[in-house]
Amino acid sequence: MKNTVRRTIGFLGAALMATQLIGASNAVSVASQGSSSAFEQAMPVTPAQKEVDRLLKQISAHAASTGRHADTLDSFTRGANRLGYETYAAELTHAKEAINAMVADFRRLQDLSPNALPWQQAVIDRIGPVLSEMAGHVSTAIERLNESRGRLLSAEYREAVTNLYAYAGHARNLIEVNLDYARAREKLNTLDASAFEPVATAPVREASKVSAKASRSLEERVRTELLKLPYYEVFDHLAFQVNGDQVTLSGHASWPTLKTDAERVVSRVEGVESVSNDIKVLPASPNDNRLRLATYWAVYGQPTMARYRLNPHPPIRIIVENGHVTLKGVVGSEMDRTIAYMQANSVPGAFSVTDQLQVAANLSGR
């Protein structure tokens, strides 16, 4: 492909202490992951900000189109009837054109970034590596298809198509979740925020009681680095344990890069001697991706639960694996826990819903 973006995936890391990475944290860098302060002005006002908003929505639409083409290509490889080269090539061409359009939009976003809102800048920084991966995978698929004319499609081709679908879904999720967060934040900005503060800020108030020495502990340094990870989002859940200078990572990642980035960053944390990486990478699946978005809107779109959308680090994590949904994280009350479960359980197509949410008040007593 002629139009590709420079591969600049940043690698971050993870560490120990069997601690769930949820809720707000004073140690989190605003520039890397974003925080509520990044959304003090949530909706675009200036012409540049409005253009960024339009381009992000346009990239999301092209990502959805790319995902559909990748899904079609994947269905071709699983079909009983062998199709001709031209059929595969046509779908790949459509995917390539959609990616080229996204890359063109991204270059325009880079030019507009200095005048964009802080949260828009964060999305622009994070979408670049995703587009780079998409460009790489469609190129690989085209090359492998050309090599296999008249022969069975190679494993490398199948893997490239699967990865293309996964990265297209991630691009769309990244943009849509942030756009939704901005809309929710703007509503809050027009109201008295006091009624929404207890749940969102309780972890921060508890953290303020911790001594300065403890806040600089190995666990805090590890948590800080994990929260900076560019691919760590509402559809992932990370945990860690610290045993002396040994760190064990666990949890689920909807994004393969998240697992490797977590280990890389944690291994660089001062005081960490070794890292054991037990993070499970969730399989790429069109149905799972649909369930993720549907469950997100069902849970976070419920009026009582809307305040949780205002947290820059979503406290309710939605893990989907082979059609099975698991809710992880922390909520403010037993009622919220029940509502979250009922909302998730109402989403059609899920084989099961497991509630592993914890209530903040119960944790504080430990």
The pLDDT tens digits of the residues spanning 270-310 come to 899 999 999 999 987 878 888 888 899 899 888 888 888 77
- Model pLDDT, residue 287: 83
Task: Give the helix/strand (H/E) hosting 223.
Answer: helix 218-227
The answer to whether residue 177 is domain-embedded is: yes
201 against 323, higher pLDDT: 323
Within this chain, do residues 180 and 49 fall inside the same structural domain, yes or no? yes
The answer to whether residue 231 is domain-embedded is: no
Q: CA distances (Å), 352 to each of 315, 323, 348, in order?
A: 21, 7, 10
Of 10-14, 28-32, 301-305, the range with the highest mean pLDDT is 301-305
Within this chain, do residues 180 and 51 fall inside the same structural domain, yes or no? yes
The C-alpha atoms of residue 130 and residue 20 are separated, in whole angstroms, by 26
Q: Could you tell me which residues are beta bridge partners of residue 19?
A: 240
Percent of the chain with pLDDT over 90: 37
CATH of the domain at 132: 1.20.120.230
pLDDT band at 80 (very low <50, low <70, confident <90, very high): low
pLDDT in tens, 175-212: 887 887 777 766 655 543 333 333 332 333 343 443 34
Task: Give the helix/strand (H/E) hosting 108.
Answer: helix 85-112
- Of the candidates 184, 46, 58, 178, the one whose C-alpha atom is nearest the C-alpha of residue 116 is 46
- Model pLDDT, residue 285: 81
The answer to whether residue 205 is domain-embedded is: no
Question: For the residues 148-171, what does the mean pLDDT come to?
Answer: 84
The answer to whether residue 341 is domain-embedded is: yes
Domain limits for position 316: 286-364
Coil vs helix vs strand at 67 = helix
- Model pLDDT, residue 198: 33
Average pLDDT, rounded, for the chain: 77
Identify the domain boundary among 148, 166, 189: 189
- Model pLDDT, residue 75: 84
- Model pLDDT, residue 317: 93
Coil vs helix vs strand at 362 = helix
The answer to whether residue 292 is domain-embedded is: yes
Within this chain, do residues 185 and 291 fall inside the same structural domain, yes or no? no
The answer to whether residue 316 is domain-embedded is: yes
Identify the domain boundary among 166, 189, 212: 189
The answer to whether residue 329 is domain-embedded is: yes
Backbone CA torsion sign across 276, 279, 284, 285: positive
Within this chain, do residues 61 and 180 fall inside the same structural domain, yes or no? yes
pLDDT band at 162 (very low <50, low <70, confident <90, very high): confident
- Model pLDDT, residue 202: 32
Instruction: Tell me the residue ranges of DSSP E strands in 217-342.
Output: 237-243, 246-253, 274-277, 280-281, 316-321, 324-331
Task: Give the helix/strand (H/E) hosting 143.
Answer: helix 118-147
Identify the domain boundary among 140, 173, 189: 189
The C-alpha atoms of residue 362 and residue 333 are separated, in whole angstroms, by 9
Classify residue 349 as left (phi > 0), alpha (psi -120 to 50) or beta.
Answer: left
Look at residue 25 and tell me whether its pLDDT is greater than 70.
no
pLDDT in tens, 92-138: 999 999 999 999 999 999 999 999 988 888 889 888 888 998 999 99
The C-alpha atoms of residue 125 and residue 109 are separated, in whole angstroms, by 10
Amino acid at 3: N
Helix axes 118-147, 47-78, angle to 10 degrees: 30
The answer to whether residue 259 is domain-embedded is: no
Within this chain, do residues 180 and 48 fall inside the same structural domain, yes or no? yes
- Model pLDDT, residue 200: 30
The C-alpha atoms of residue 114 and residue 112 are separated, in whole angstroms, by 6
Question: Which residue's structure tokens are 């978005």?
Answer: 293
CATH of the domain at 296: 3.30.1340.30
pTM: predicted TM-score of the whole model, two decimal places: 0.59
Question: Which residue's structure tokens are 């940043």?
Answer: 10
Task: Give the helix/strand (H/E) hosting 358.
Answer: strand 352-359
- Model pLDDT, residue 350: 92
| Number of domains within the chain | 2
Amino acid at 321: E
Within this chain, do residues 75 and 185 fall inside the same structural domain, yes or no? yes
